[in-house]
Amino acid sequence: MCGIVGYIGDRQAAPILLDSLSKLEYRGYDSAGIAIRNAEEDVQVLKAKGRLNILAEKTDGGKAVTGTIGIGHTRWATHGEPSENNAHPHTADDRTVVGVHNGIIENYQKLKEKLTKRGYSFYSQTDTEAAVKLVDYYYRKYNCGPKDAISKAMVRIRGSYALVLMFNDYPDEIWVARKDSPMIIGTIKNETFIASDVPAILKYTRNVYYIDNLELARLTAGKAEFYNLDGDITDKELTEITWDAEAAEKGGFEHFMMKEIYEQPKAVGDTLNSMLTDGKIDFGKIGLSDDIIKNISQIYIVACGSAWHAGMVSQYVIEELSGTPVRVELASEFRYRKPILDRNGLVVVISQSGETADSLAALREAKEKGIRTLAVVNVVGSSIAREADNVFYTLAGPEISVATTKAYSAQLIAGYCLALQLGFSKGVLGEPEYMRMIAELQALPDKIEKILQDKERLQWFASKISNKKDVFFVGRGIDYAVSLEGSLKMKEISYVHSEAYAAGELKHGTISLIEDGTPVIGILTQGGLYEKTVSNMAECKARGAYLCGVTTYGNYETEETADFVTYVPKADEHFIGSLAVIPLQLLGYYLSVSRGLDVDKPRNLAKSVTVE
């Protein structure tokens, strides 16, 4: 949520900030703003409601405002409607302090009351304005420097923040502070960059510092100095980002989503290969020896959104291949549910960004209870990756489109690897079966490639249903878990209402919503469940539904029931979710395109949800 950037160096700041913000728009896009200054001149603040391009036009691509130091923000509204007034940067009354913020200040009302009593007035409904004015208050009251003023404010503020501040009296510095919201600091020669996420600065530098929770930093051109809350300097290592800068560009595709759909064979292959040693899965690489794995009594998968859906698929696969009981929990529920956890269990937190607030809180909850935690994360150095006991990095590369595709596919691979290793080390899977299944996983990238070659038929089908108001997805077992993701993909980017149902459950209420022509999409990849689901689809057809089947090549009799059928290659049924999901992603994509919507930036959503 919300993208923040900063720059201090010898180039003009505004064009760089606008460029960096354009890479972070997936974090929020209801308004944008920048604050720019020169050493000698006062800060200039420019804001615009709506997408970043409106701000870019207003500032002539940044050329209209000069200065080599600046901060910027794209907003995903939490407190106060999207408006120019609520857009960041926010300022103290005479612009002594100017700041941008990502996160939520939970006690902002209390802070506002306190500050109002001391003569402050507020022009916006945001929590951020309270934070900036609190810093200003301490700065004046104690006549102290930025470091002490920020530290004092950090002690008072409850909630989460990545805060970037400029002080009028300190023209060569930017100050940052962090708790539970992502922020990285990049340096190169005599330039320093600040961003919520790597793609924003990848073009400029690969050398980054990860600021820790409850730390602050003083940034000057090319330098960063970190402090803890006591004001002591903390040591920080520079980390090199290995992501390729081009990976964060559209590369000729019309949308990031389609580009990322096409990157799935690579994401799947790379993630799998990273876990193989001499042809076998090797969790020892990430600190989980076979001995540890063998003794895991129970798996708790905790995640949000599509990552939770990847967990749902994994649940079926892990239980079937290893006999280990699995629970899949929504992180937002898990954290407040007082879960009873087996001490020999493993909590697996799945997250593309590694920053989702609820998933991070769930991870901490598990750690507090003394349960081993494994993070399945895509973004290196993210909060969840840093706090978990063990980390399985999915190698999907930067994912920009709000609707996840390649990260989800890579998360499935993590689930399969865990299932196979649990099964093998517990003796549930014999070596030949284990090796056969690894070969099945290795064959997935080519099969995904093959599905992508047949995408025009799905484009046609999407145009056929583009004016429908409801769509239902049905399936059983793994097919049901995949339906959940297919349905989410569709509704989040096409705004067509869709629901996924366990095929046998539809008749317990939801079937009353089926009308003449309502599309029902059945996922039919599990041999033992095929006929059952087809029967459920036929029940819908009898009530007027327009049926689509997603099944494997060879199941041509599906065409006798369904009005439209799309095929995926055959594969071991445990892993076929990785194939069945591809047509569903394409369907969501084409439906969004045919309805003329902004595929990569669906309304009301943000890619990385760093608030509760």
Which residues would be at the binding site for ligand G6P (CB under 6 A)?
304-307, 351-353, 356, 359, 402, 404, 605, 607-609
Nearer to ligand G6P (CB atom), residue 192 or residue 405 = 405
Where are the alpha helices (H) located in 404-544, listed in sequence order? 406-425, 431-452, 455-464, 478-494, 530-541
The overall longest dimension of the chain from CA atoms, in Å, is: 80
A 10 A CB-CB count for 237 gives 6
Q: Is 321 helix (H, G, I), strand (E, B) or coil?
A: helix
DSSP secondary structure letters along 491-525: HHHH--EEEEEEGGGGGGTGGGG--TT-EEEEEE-
Q: Is the dihedral of CA 380, 381, 384, 387 positive or negative?
A: positive
DSSP secondary structure letters along 201-267: TTTT-SEEEEPPTTEEEEEETTEEEEE-TTS-EE----EE--S-GGGGS-TT-SSHHHHHHHTHHHH
Cα–Cα distance measured from residue 281 to residue 377, given in angstroms and rounded to the nearest whole number: 18
**Closest residue to ligand G6P in the complex (CB):** 305
Least Å distance, CB 349 to ligand G6P, is: 8
Nearer to ligand G6P (CB atom), residue 352 or residue 533 = 352
Nearer to ligand G6P (CB atom), residue 266 or residue 607 = 607
% helix / strand / coil in the chain, to the nearest 5? 40, 25, 35
Least Å distance, CB 393 to ligand G6P, is: 13
Q: What single letter denotes the amino acid at residue 264?
A: Q
* CA neighbor of 280 nearest in space, from 168, 178, 421, 150: 421
Catalytic entry in 2, 304, 417, 548? 2
Task: Tell me the C-alpha to C-alpha distance, in Å, between residue 267 and each of 272, 315, 406, 583.
Answer: 8, 21, 6, 17
* CA neighbor of 231 nearest in space, from 111, 113, 338, 146: 146
* CA neighbor of 311 nearest in space, from 319, 321, 301: 301
Give, for 39, the enclosing helix (H) or strand (E): none
Nearer to ligand G6P (CB atom), residue 396 or residue 545 = 396
Cα–Cα distance measured from residue 442 to residue 278, given in angstroms and rounded to the nearest whole number: 13
Strand 215-220 to strand 223-227: parallel, antiparallel, or no bridges (unpaired)? Answer: antiparallel
| Sequence-distant (≥ 6) Cβ neighbours of residue 367 within 8 angstroms | 373, 387, 389
Least Å distance, CB 605 to ligand G6P, is: 5
Nearer to ligand G6P (CB atom), residue 181 or residue 351 = 351
Q: Is the dihedral of CA 558, 564, 567, 572 positive or negative?
A: negative
For the chain, give the number of residues.
612
Nearer to ligand G6P (CB atom), residue 334 or residue 424 = 334
Least Å distance, CB 119 to ligand G6P, is: 41
Active-site residue, 417 included: no
Least Å distance, CB 330 to ligand G6P, is: 10
Nearer to ligand G6P (CB atom), residue 165 or residue 493 = 493
Least Å distance, CB 63 to ligand G6P, is: 34
Least Å distance, CB 307 to ligand G6P, is: 4
Nearer to ligand G6P (CB atom), residue 146 or residue 311 = 311
Catalytic entry in 266, 406, 455, 607? 607
DSSP secondary structure letters along 76-117: --SSS-SSTTTSSPEE-TTSSEEEEEEEEETTHHHHHHHHHH
Q: Is 45 helix (H, G, I), strand (E, B) or coil?
A: strand
Least Å distance, CB 375 to ligand G6P, is: 10
Nearer to ligand G6P (CB atom), residue 351 or residue 558 = 351
Least Å distance, CB 305 to ligand G6P, is: 3
* CA neighbor of 276 nearest in space, from 437, 388, 449, 446: 437
Task: Copy the structure tokens of residue 505.
Answer: 């459950």
Active-site residue, 607 included: yes
Least Å distance, CB 287 to ligand G6P, is: 22
Nearer to ligand G6P (CB atom), residue 31 or residue 359 = 359
Catalytic site positions: 2, 607
